[in-house]
Every structure is written in structure tokens, then in C-alpha cells.
Amino acid sequence: MKDEGQFRLDDRVVAVVGAASGIGEAVARACARQGAHVVAIDVNNAGVALTASRISDAGGSAEWHVADIVDGESVEALFAKLAATHGRLDGAVSTPSINVRKTLLNYSEEEFERVLRVNLKGNFNVLRAAGRVMTALGRGSIVLFSSIRSQVVEPGQGIYAATKAGILQMARAAAAEFGPSGVRVNAVAPGVTETPLTAPIKSNPAWYGAYAAKTVFNRWASADEMAGPTVFLLSDAASYVTGTLLVVDGGWLAVDGRFQPPGM
């Protein structure tokens, strides 16, 4: 007997912010394959239009909008418009982040503010706008993207890690605040994933290999491998899951060293 109904998103409206590329694009396309009407949102006009076009060409349902998540008023207006147009908003996913890889002593105030502005303020704007709509409707699921860097850190990742820990705590607080209105909020923590954000280090063979070796699979994740866990959190299969961090890291956090003693 097969029952895939709990994981389906048929007839639901799901907004995916950051849908022009990387994890956001993969999530948008996966939601469409599960039957959702996808609202693809990004600051990249051409990229988000292409994502929506690819979904439509594959037989899915999508529309696209341009928005900058650091502009709170425009984000609020867009989500209010979506609710008015569709009469519902069942899911919202926010993936955008930026990173400046520098040690703390070499960070400038401008760099610090730029990373916080996108990663914390931007994701807060999406969380607030989606939460306002969903709590009024009495249902919905919001997924923010944190990182394994919310749990562990390395030199040059301090500010990025701080924002990812902040995103996790915002998700937990929102889960507590929105839960009585029937809205779930969770965070996904990817490990090392091949995206435009990680392209600069992917091109360095030594760096790429060192990160791959931190996983039990000895490889990086693809953006598509973040889509399934996200769809799960949006679906009825996760109806009792809220306020949690779903780690998708190929075992990075579970394994303390890779030395295998002789004879083992």
C-alpha cells in the first residue's frame, strides 16, 4: 500500500524567497513537483523569472515577484498582496544569506552591518510578513534557513555563524508565538552545499576536499538535497513539528574526527 498524501502540497500556495538560484530555486521546483502553486521571490529579476518559467515548462504552477528582503515595507506589502490575491498562504521559505569570510579582527563595521542586514534583518522581515498573514488565517508553515554554523564555527566564520544562530532563535521564538494560531515555524541547517554562495571555496581543491572529508559521505551536498527536508517541513507529514532545527549535513555534526583505529 502506498500513501504519499501527507507529503504532498496539492492546492497550496507556497512562497519561496531566494528562488532565483541555489537552494531557493531547488526548493521552489520541489514544491511545484509536490503540487503547490509556487510564488517565486528574489531580488534577481531575470533569475526568478527563469525559475518560474522552468516550473511552468515542467507542468507546474508558478508566479514570480521581485523583492529585496531588507526592505521591510515592500516585503509586508507583497505578502499582504499574495494573501489578498490567493485567499491563502500555506507555506513560506526564506533562503537568502550572505557571508564575508574574514577573521573578527579584520572585519569592518560596514561588513558586519551588511551581513547582519541581509541575514538577520532580511529574514526577520520575511518571518514577520509571513507570520502576520498566516496567524490571521490560522494556519501555515514557515521555514527559515540556518546552518550548521549555528552550532559549530571556524576561523573566518564568526559573524556569519552569529547570524545563523540568530535565525534559529528567531524561528524558535516565532514557533512559540505563532503556534497558538496554528502556524508552525522551523529552521533547516544545511552542511556544506554547492550553491553560488559557496562557489569561491568550491573552486579551491584543498578547501573543497577538506570540507568533503568532514562528512561521512566524503562529498558536498547538492542544492536539491536541501529541497526534500524543506518540503517535509511544509507538509502535513510535519504537522507536529515546530520550533526545531532540521540538520541536513551529511553527518558533519555527528562525527568527531575521522580516524579509524587499526582493526576496526
Positions marked catalytic:
160
| Gap between the Cα atoms of 221 and 233, Å rounded | 19
Q: Tell me whether strands 245-248 and 140-145 are parallel, antiparallel or unpaired.
A: unpaired
End-to-end CA distance of the chain: give it in Å, rounded: 41
Phi, psi of 50 (to 5 degrees): -65, -40
Q: What DSSP line would sit under 197-223, residue for residue?
A: GGHHHHTSHHHHHHHHHTSTTSSPEEG
In angstroms, the Cα distances linking 123 to 2, 33, 170, 215 are 37, 25, 9, 28
Q: Do residues 49 and 34 make contact, with C-beta atoms less than 8 angstroms apart?
A: no
Which 8-state DSSP code applies to residue 36? P
| Gap between the Cα atoms of 30 and 258, Å rounded | 33
Residue 193 pairs in a beta bridge with 221
